[in-house]
Amino acid sequence: MDPGGEHGIYEIEKALELARKHELDLVEIAPNANPPVCKIIDYGKYRYEQQKKEKEQRKKAARVELKEVRFRPHTDTHDFEFKTRHARSFLEEGNKVRAYVQFRGRDIIYKDQGMDLLRRFIEELQDVAQIDQPPQMEGRRMATILAPAKKK
């Protein structure tokens, strides 16, 4: 397309000559079309506009953070409820939550209590969360990851 508004099917040499005449660039827009679609534009300005659009899209993209909630095998009910409320607020804000039970020293023999704790945690939050990673051992800690539930 000619910057003057003219458009049509041109030979490559003719299109390049038109671009040089206007001191602009010949840019291939749709290479798979038959014949390929090209435009005579200022390529630097075109790239700048594209980068601006991409930057704007990245800015609008949702950023998901991973918040952590730590338990011990013998965590008391009040502490459990307190931490569960915090996890609920994190999930409602759209963040993921990693909950883990830290085993120190001889606590490692209480793996079943850790598993029960994480299962109860998941149960409490099942209305606002979905399981991203089921509970599993990672060294001396048992962890699970919950993601915000999809809104209906």
> Does one domain contain both 97 and 29?
no
* Mean pLDDT, residues 118-145 taken together: 91
One domain, residues 106 and 56: no
Whether residues 22 and 88 fall in one domain: no
> Domain range holding 38?
12-60
Q: What are phi and psi of 149, to 5 degrees?
A: -70, 150
Q: Give mean pLDDT, residues 21-33.
A: 87
Pair 97, 71 in one domain: yes
Are 70 and 47 in the same domain? no
Q: 48-99: per-residue pLDDT in tens?
A: 999 999 998 888 776 778 899 999 998 899 999 999 999 999 999 888 999 9
Residues 93 and 119 in one domain: yes
CA dihedral 43, 48, 50, 54 (to 10 degrees): 160
Q: Is residue 99 part of a domain?
A: yes
| Predicted pLDDT at 110 | 87
- Domain membership of residue 6 (yes or no) is no
Backbone torsions φ then ψ of 108, nearest 5 degrees: -60, -20
* pLDDT for 6: 67
Kindly state whether residue 3 falls inside one of the protein's structural domains: no
- Residue 70: give its domain's CATH number: 3.30.110.10
CB contact at 8 A, 11 and 50: no
Per-residue tokens: 17 = 């000559």
Could you report the per-residue pLDDT of 95-125, keeping only the tens digit for each? 899 999 999 999 889 899 999 999 999 999 9
- The number of distinct structural domains making up the chain is 2
The CATH code of the domain that includes 47 is 3.10.20.80
**Do 72 and 137 share a domain, yes or no?**
yes
Q: What is the pTM of this model?
A: 0.58
Do residues 88 and 51 both lie within one domain? no
Q: Is residue 112 part of a domain?
A: yes
Q: 33 with 80, same domain?
A: no
